[in-house]
Structure 1
Amino acid sequence: MTRSRGPGGEVAVGLPRWVYLPALLGACFVILPLVAMLLEIDWAHFVPLVTSESSRAALLLSLKTATASTVLCVLIGVPMALVLARSSFPGQSVLRSFVLLPLVLPPVVGGIALLYTFGRQGLLGQQLEAFGVRIAFTTTAVVLAQTFVALPFLVVSLEGALRTAGRRYETVAATLGARPTTVLRRVTLPLVLPGLISGAVLAFARSLGEFGATLTFAGSLQGVTRTLPLEIYLQRETDPEAAVALSLLLVLVAALIVIGTSRRRSGGVL
C-alpha cells in the first residue's frame, strides 16, 4: 500500500497495487465489446443507415418517449423518495421493496404486468375502454413501460441523497417558522438537486434503452411504438450492418447525456 502527503501534511493512504489488475479487467470487459462493435461498422454506409426513414422515426420516438417518461418519473418519483426517506409508517419496508422490484424483474415480466393492468381486458383497461380510452399498443403504452422500469432508478438515487443530506437544515428552517411546503421548496430540493438530476439522467438513459416491457406492452408499430431498441432488434434479423450502425447511434446518444452531466458536475455547476 502506497502513502503520500497531502497539501496540509496529512498522510494519504493509497490503494493496494493488486486492486488495479481487477479494475483493469473490469474496464476491458466494458470497453472491448464497444471497440468490437466499432470495428464491425461499415463506415462508408454509416450515415445512410442511420438516417433512413425508419431509423429517424425510431430515434425521434425514443427521444420523445424517454423525455416524457423521465418527466413522469420526476413527478411521481420525487414524492415517493421523499415519503420513503422522510417518514416512517407501518409497511414502509414492504413498500420500498415493491418500488424497487422492477430493478430485478425481467422487463418482459413488467410488460406482461402492464398489459394485464392497462390492456383491453386488464384490471383498469376494461374501465378505460368503456370511456373510449385505449392504452395498450399505443405511444402512451411506450411511455408507461419506460416509466415502470426507469422509476426505481430515480427513487433510489434521490432517496440516497436525502438520507445522506440529513434533516438538520430542514429542522432549522422549520424552527424559524417556515411551512413544510416552503421547507421542501427552498431547502430540501435545492439541497438534493445533484441527486435528483443524477436520478433523472439514469431514468432517461434506462428509458432510452428499454426493450422488453415496450415490446410486450406496446408492440412494434413504426412511428407509433417502435423505438430505437426495437428497430435495432428488427434490423438484426434482416440487415445486420444497419443494426450495428443503429446500436452505435444509441450508444452515442446515451454517452453524450452521461458525459454532459458528468462535466456539469466536475465543473461545479451541480
Structure 2
Amino acid sequence: MHPTRSRSESTGRRAGVDWLSVSFLLGALLCCYYLLPVVALVVAQPPGVVLARLGDPTVVSAAATSLVAALASATLAAVFGLPLAYWLARAEGRARTLVTALVVLPLVLPPIVSGMVLLTVVGPTTLLGSLAAANGVPLTRSLAGVVLAQTFVASPFVVVTATAAFEGVDPRLEAASRSLGKRRLTTVRRVTLPLAWPGVLAGVTLAFARSMGEFGATVMLAYYPRTMPVQIWVSFTTLGLDAAFPVAVVLVGVAVVTLVVLDRLGTTPWGR
C-alpha cells in the first residue's frame, strides 16, 4: 500500500471519521432531492383521475404534436449528426476543436436564448422565414417551427454520444477493410456503424427524449401547435397545478423509458 495513503487512512481512523460514509450520506441527500419531487408528482392524484384527464382533446393534441415533432427532430439529428460525429471521431487539430465547441453550444445556451437566436434566422420578418411562408411552409407558429426548435436543442446529443461511440471503434479495423478494397462509405456501413450502434442508438434516444421535453425554444418559435411542455405551462397558468398533472406524468414516463433504454443498451453519455 502506498505510504501516503496509509498515513491518510490512519489519520482518518484516529479522527473517527469515515469519509466514504460521509460521501454516501451527502450523495444520498442529493438523490432524495432528485427522487422525492418525481414521486410526489406521480402520487399527487389518483391514477384514475390522471387517466381520465389524458383523454382531454387538448392533451391528446399536444401529445400527438410532441410525438410527431420529436420523431422528426430525432430523425433529422441522426441524418445530419451521424456524419458529423464520424468526422469528429476521426479528425484532429484545431478545426475539430472549433466544430466540437459549435456542436456543444446549443447545450449551454438557455433554451429561451436558443429560441431568440432561431427567430433571427427563420422568423417571419427574416428573408428565409418570409420566403418559406410565401411558399406555404411557415417556419414559426407551425409544426415546422416545433421541429426546428427541437432539432436545434436536441441534435447535439446525437453528435456528442455518437462521436464517443465512433471513437471506441478501433481504426485498424477500418484500415483492414480499406486494404481489402472497400470504399470508406462501405467500411463505415459494414464495420464502424455496427460496432458503434449501441452508442448511436443511445444518442438518438436522448435526442428524442430531449425533443419531447423541450419548452423554451419551442414556445419562442412555435407557440402553436402546442407541444406537451407548452400545454403544461398553459394549463398551469390558466387552471392551476392540478390541471397540468396529466401531461407532466406522461413526460415523466418518457424520461423513465429513456433511462431504461439507455441502461439496456449499456451506453450512456456519462459512462457506466
Normalised-by-shorter TM-score class: 0.7 to 0.9
Aligned to 1:76: 80
Amino acid paired to 1:233 = W
User: What secondary structure is seen at the aligned counterpart in 2 of 1:91?
Assistant: helix
After superposing the two structures, state which structure 1 stretch, 144-153 or 256-265, moved more. Answer: 256-265
Matches within 5 A, 1:230-269: 230-237=230-237, 238-263=239-264, 265=266
Distance 1:27 1:77, change over 3 A: same
Match of 2:109 among 105, 108, 115: 105
What percent identity do the matched residue pairs reach?
Answer: 37
Q: Which amino acid aligns with 1:228?
A: M
8 Å CA contact retained: 2:198, 2:265: no
> In the alignment, is the contact (CA less than 8 A) between 1:42 and 1:241 conserved in 2?
no
| 2:208 is equivalent to residue 207 of structure 1 | no
Q: Which residue of 1 aligns with 2:179?
A: 175
| Native 8 Å contact 1:41 1:245 kept in 2 | no
* CA distance 1:124–1:252, change in 2 (3 Å): same
Helix, strand or coil at the partner of 1:137: coil
Which letter does structure 1 place at the counterpart of 2:252? V
| Higher normalized helix content (fraction of residues) | 2
Take 2:172 and 2:126, find their aligned partners in 1: how far apart are those partners?
Answer: 46
Instruction: Report the TM-score, using the length of structure 2 for normalisation.
Output: 0.84
Give deviations 1:137-164, integer Å, cap 9, x for gaps: 1101101100000011111101111122
Aligned counterparts, 1:72-221, within 5 A = 72-88=76-92, 91-221=95-225
Instruction: Give 1:132 deviation, angstroms.
Output: 4.4
Deviation of the 1:19 alpha carbon: 4.0
Shift of 1:179: 1.1
Deviates more, 1:88-97 or 1:148-157: 88-97
Q: Distance in 1 between matches of 2:93 and 2:127?
A: 28
Structure 2 unpaired stretches of 5+: 6-18, 268-272
What is the identity, as a one-letter code, of the residue corresponding to 2:149? A
Q: Is the 2:74–2:151 contact (alpha carbons within 8 Å) kept by the matching residues of 1?
A: yes
The 8 Å contact of residues 150 and 203 in structure 1, kept in 2 or not, is answered as yes
Aligned residues: 249
Structure 2 distance, partners of 1:162, 1:126, is 39
Flag the 1:90–1:35 CA change in 2: closer, same or farther, 3 A.
Answer: closer
User: How far is the alpha carbon of 1:58 from its aligned partner?
Assistant: 0.6
Distance 2:258 2:181 in 1: 40
* Alignment partner, residue 227 of structure 1: 227
The 1-side partners of 2:85 and 2:93 are apart by 14
Name structure 1 gaps, 5 residues minimum: 2-14
TM-score by length of 1: 0.85
Q: Is the 8 A contact 2:202 2:265 kept in 1?
A: no
Partner secondary structure for residue 208 of structure 2: helix
8 Å CA contact 1:50, 1:242 repeated in 2: no
Instruction: Give the 3 Å change call, closer, same or farther, for CA 24–69 of structure 1 in structure 2.
Output: same
State whether residues 59 and 228 of structure 1, in contact with CA within 8 Å, keep that contact through their aligned partners in structure 2.
yes
Q: Structure 1's 56 and 127: CA in aligned 2 closer, same or farther, altered over 3 A?
A: closer
How far does residue 42 in structure 1 lie from its aligned partner after superposition? 4.3
Q: Does the Cα contact within 8 Å between 1:77 and 1:151 map onto a contact in 2?
A: yes
Amino acid at match of 2:193: L
Cα RMSD, aligned residues only: 2.2
- Taking the aligned partners of 1:66 and 1:128, their CA distance within structure 2 comes to 21
1:208 shift after superposition: 0.4
1:54 maps to 58
CA offsets 1:73-99 (integer angstroms, 9 cap, x no match): 000010111111112465331121111
CA shift in 2, pair 1:169/1:227, >3 Å: same
Instruction: Write the deviation string for residues 42-96 of structure 1: whole angstroms up to 9, x where unpaired.
Output: 4452222121110111111111111110001000010111111112465331121
